[in-house]
Homo-oligomer: A and B are copies of this chain.
């Protein structure tokens, strides 16, 4: 990728980045249905997003589609995959084999999109050695040496809050690229890309609309 493209990509706002996966998923569905081209209007109707929003978002990383002809489904899907870097193969480890760790480990969708879960770690002797999804649970005693010896792009944290600081420090020291944080504590880092997951946030958005509906 040349510098011009990099500069262009940097300018894509977080809001656009959050919508791209939705477009991508819908384009996958359309492609599976054999649809070749789709208009921003029809794509918007399927996603409950305004057509003008879709056109604006897709314009932000270079023009796509021709006025009146719609977007080429396969090409646009591949282009979004490239923008999102999901055409790369990322290696992910999960720390914590409780309910969330187990649920993540069994999600087959991740590997389909290029996120390969390569190992699971827990400090509970009773689950060490167990196979969950496609991977075995290792003892956390071996975590640092695993990270030193293997490529790890993403560290998923499914541990209690008190374990977070230590694991974040390890991620920063060992050069793990990203942390996907399922603990209730928000983490921030200058050197590691962090995505804090708060299920309560989506429940609050749902509560907002439920409140609106009940008042109507």
Verify A203–B22 contact, CB threshold 8 A: no
Query: Which A107-123 residues have C-beta < 8 A from chain B?
Result: 107, 109-110, 113-115
Stretch of A10-18, A32-40, A67-75, A134-142 on the interface side? A10-18
Interface residues of A (CB under 8 A from B): 1, 6, 9-10, 14-15, 17-18, 20-22, 24-25, 48, 83-86, 88, 90, 98-100, 102-104, 106-107, 109-110, 113-115, 153-154, 177-178, 180, 184, 186, 188, 193, 195, 197-216
Q: Which of A25, A186, A205, A216 has the most CB of B within 10 A?
A: A205
Verify B193–A210 contact, CB threshold 8 A: yes
If the complex has contacts A88-B211, A210-B85, are A195 and B199 also in contact, measured as CB distance less than 8 A? no
If the complex has contacts A99-B99, A198-B25, A212-B10, are A18 and B188 also in contact, measured as CB distance less than 8 A? no
Query: Nearest-CB distance from A17 to chain B (Å)?
Result: 5
Verify B177–A213 contact, CB threshold 8 A: yes
Q: CB < 8 Å: which of B14, B24, B205, B213 contacts A17?
A: B205
Pick 25 A–B contacts, CB within 8 A, sort by A.
A6-B215, A10-B212, A17-B209, A48-B188, A84-B205, A85-B210, A85-B214, A88-B207, A100-B103, A107-B199, A110-B203, A113-B200, A113-B204, A114-B207, A115-B200, A115-B207, A154-B203, A177-B210, A177-B213, A177-B214, A178-B209, A178-B210, A180-B202, A193-B210, A195-B206
Number of copies: 2
- Complex CA gap A200/B110 in Å reads 6
Q: CB < 8 Å: which of B115, B203, B213 contacts A203?
A: B115
Verify B208–A202 contact, CB threshold 8 A: no
Q: Which residue of B lies closest to A203 (CB)?
A: B115
Query: Nearest-CB distance from A116 to chain B (Å)?
Result: 12
Verify B193–A213 contact, CB threshold 8 A: yes
